[in-house]
Amino acid sequence: MKYETVAEAYRDLEQASGRLALIERLAALLTATPAELLPVVCYLCQGLIAPEFAGVDLGLAEKLAVRAVAAATGTAPDQVTASLRETGDLGQTAEQLLAVTAAGRRASLEVTAVVGTLRQIAGAEGAGSQGRKLDLLAELLARATPLEARYLLRHVTKGLRLGIGTPTILDALAQVYAGGRAARPVLERAYNICCDLGLVASALVKGGMTAVGQLRVRPGNPVRVMLAQRLSDGAEILAKLGGRCAAEYKYDGVRVQAHRTADGEMELFTRRLERVSTQFPDVVELLRAGLGPREAILEGEVVAFDPAAGELRPFQEVMFRRRKYGIAEAVRDVPVALFCFEMLYADGEDLTMLPYTERRARLAGAISQAPRLRLTTATEVDDPAALEAAFEQAVTDGCEGLVCKSVSPSAGYQAGARGWLWIKLKRDYRTELSDTVDLVVVGAFAGRGRRRGTYGAVLLAAYDAGADVFRTVTKCGTGFSDADLAALPPRLAPFQRPARPARVDARQDPDVWFEPGLVLEILSAELTLSPNYTAGWGQIKEDAGLAMRFPRFTGRYRDDKAPQDTTTTQELIDLYRIAQRTPAST
């Protein structure tokens, strides 16, 4: 299979105007892909060459890539830089230069060879590695067509941001290999427990949907995390959970999923699938000392902790630990504790199908508790007064509130789902009707007057998980400090697009469009209905979506969240209903 086939698909996908068009175009690409290349082409559709959690970094500085383009096209590096200044995109620059120097070149690059070379580029380390990366890229470019060069350059420098969600690729896979989109839930579950689209695709082509259904969690492959719904009233929560639940303290920190593989290696993943064991060497040590099973997957919240006082510390302090350098000092200055709440796998056994109480018992048996390695505080309650008391105690002890968990025998661990088996009850629902929500920036309006040169307001969207689309809910220009305003344009620049991205649903026309990327925490006085916004369109009232009154940025960037982890449109609908005091939908 020629790489040109993939490059042509990239080009079309970039221009596609809606999600159905994306699925159709992806399906055409997958149909043209030989079975043995399907895993690799699936990664390429994600803009990757390996599963996301592998953290493969092609790591080519733009300057170096400029030199590779210069070498491959016989152009002076200064000239390449000048053209780059004009286009703002090295991919386009390379394409334009090759259109002159390699006009009429026939496509000859094979997908396998391209991916092999990209892997070599990523793998080059140590002395002389930069030169080696440059040579490898220049060799590829010397054989590439202009269109191929466009994507090769984007891939090795900034990463390909194609704006295609994994659910959309799963839809295309289901359409081509499983007889239709009805198969997506099974494919999605498989993806949710291994986070490896290549692995799912490989099972699919080798053993069909049976093999996909038989995939199990395995240490080393992060599992997409289970998430919570929210309600503001204890009685309502109990009713939702069948009259009885486990009320666990909700700690305010960083969620980690710890994996110990058979070789004894320990890795910590964030919910965005980043590897953070180097940032939390003390947590790795705590687990080495206190975790029983040889192979295991468990989850917990890493919280800043004052060992002298035995007290929890605020979220901002643990965020200080999310750094690349100065780790030894950070470990010394900000001690943390791990509060464990889930056990997903132990010594050959997938525990995700077991009910909560059994998983909790396995977790308790697997951990030797220590002052900084603990289980989350949990009590089983069956009446609103007891739930209320647990909530007050949690807040008194420095927690945000409670996560109330279903103890039903059928309530397994739902990877990647925000269902009604976990319901959070937080302090801030109590003080105001409103709670903060996390929204993603999809557009911006140019600033005037004092705000000239930056943005006056951003257009924000919530994620519609069922449709894999981002729908707008508000414009927000309040709450940004001068530093925030100065930082916004460069932070948003990598996501800028010339037209509305295919997965953004909006009824406005901002001055600039962005691929969903930057997530902001927003507080708003009230949710209202409006014909200008598309979140929850038609679900509460015909021809109206949900909008926010007086939205304000809290100052908290949710870099720990991927765009698809933002507040969902369904959550907004639920929040609206809670506020209206009508029963939440099921």
Which residues carry out catalysis?
Answer: 250
Binding status of residue 255 toward ligand ATP by CB under 6 A? yes
170, 228, 367, 506: which one binds ligand ATP (CB under 6 A) = 228
What's the min distance (Å) between Cβ of 396 and ligand ATP? 16
The window from 75-83, 193-201, 245-253, 532-540 that contacts ligand ATP (CB under 6 A) reads: 245-253
Query: In whole angstroms, how close is the CB of 278 to ligand ATP at the nearest point?
Result: 20
Residue closer to ligand ATP by CB (options 234, 456) is 234
Burial class (CB in 10 A: 0-12, 13-18, 19+), 7: buried
Which has the closest alpha carbon to 345: 407, 299, 376? 299
Q: Which is nearer to ligand ATP, 105 or 427 (CB)?
A: 427
Task: Give kind and range of the element (H or E) at residue 458.
Answer: strand 455-464
What minimum distance in Å lies between the beta carbon of 418 and ligand ATP?
6
Residues in 402-431 that interact with ligand ATP by CB under 6 A: 403, 424
Q: Binding of ligand ATP at residue 376 (CB under 6 A)? A: yes
Q: In the complex with ligand ATP, which residue's Cβ is closer, 428 or 511?
A: 428
Give the nearest distance from C-beta 184 to ligand ATP in angstroms: 23
For 367, the 3-state DSSP assignment is: strand
Non-local (6+) Cβ contacts of 232 within 8 A are 425, 429, 430, 578
Contact flag: residue 305 with ligand ATP (CB under 6 A)? no
Interface with ligand ATP, residue 40, by CB under 6 A: no
CA–CA separation, 100 vs 578, rounded Å?
62
Q: Supply angle C-alpha 381, 387, 393, rounded to 5.
A: 115
Contacts (CB under 6 A) with ligand ATP, residues 83-122? none
**107's tokens:** 């496509």
Strand partners, 552: 523
Q: Is 572 in the site for ligand ATP (CB under 6 A)?
A: no
Nearer to ligand ATP, 250 or 260 (CB): 250
Cβ proximity to ligand ATP: between 376 and 434 the closer is 376
Task: Provide Rg for the chain, Cα atoms.
Answer: 25
φ, ψ (nearest 5 deg) of residue 310: 65, 30
Q: Does 250 bind ligand ATP (CB under 6 A)?
A: yes
Q: In which residue are the tokens 């704006």 written?
A: 163
Contact between 513 and ligand ATP per CB under 6 A: no
Among residues 3, 191, 251, 356, the one that binds ligand ATP under rule CB under 6 A: 251
CB of 163 to ligand ATP, least distance (A): 23
Q: How far is Cα 542 from Cα 529, in angstroms, rounded to an integer?
A: 10
Q: Does 341 engage in binding with ligand ATP (CB under 6 A)?
A: yes
Scored b (16 or more CB within 10 A) or e, 450-464 reads ebeebbbbbbbbbbb
Tell me how far, at minimum, the Cβ of 185 lies from ligand ATP, in Å: 21
State yes or no: residue 184 binds ligand ATP (CB under 6 A): no
What H or E segment, with its residue span, contains residue 333?
helix 327-333
Contact code string over 257-296 relative to ligand ATP, x by CB under 6 A: ----------------------------------------
Q: Over the range 217-228, which residues count as b (16 or more CB within 10 Å of their CB) and which as e?
A: bbbbbbbbbbbb
- 562: contact with ligand ATP by CB under 6 A: no
Separation between Cα atoms, residue 376 and residue 302, nearest integer Å: 11
Binding status of residue 356 toward ligand ATP by CB under 6 A: no
Give the β-pairing of 336-346 and 373-375: parallel
Residue 481 CB-half CA count within 13 A: 6
Is the Cβ of residue 376 or residue 414 nearer to ligand ATP in the bound state? 376
Which spans of this chain sit near ligand ATP (rule: CB under 6 A)? 227-228, 248-251, 255, 301, 341, 376, 403, 424
